Amino acid sequence: MASARSESECDKGRKRLREPGNPDLDKCVLKWFKQARDKKIPVSGHLIRSKAEQFATEMGKTDFKASSGWLDGFKERNKISFKTICGESGAVNLQVAEQWKNNLRELIQDKDARDVFNVDETGLFLNAPPTKR
Q: What is the mean pLDDT of each run of 10 residues along the chain (133 residues)?
A: 49 60 88 89 89 93 90 90 61 77 86 78 61 57
Q: What pLDDT is attached to residue 1?
A: 46
Residue 52 exposed, middle or buried by CB count within 10 Å (0-12, 13-18, 19+): buried
Q: What pLDDT is attached to residue 91?
A: 59
Closest by CA to 50, choosing from 39, 64, 34, 40, is 64
Residue 52 · residue 29 · CB < 8 Å: yes
Q: What pLDDT is attached to residue 18?
A: 66
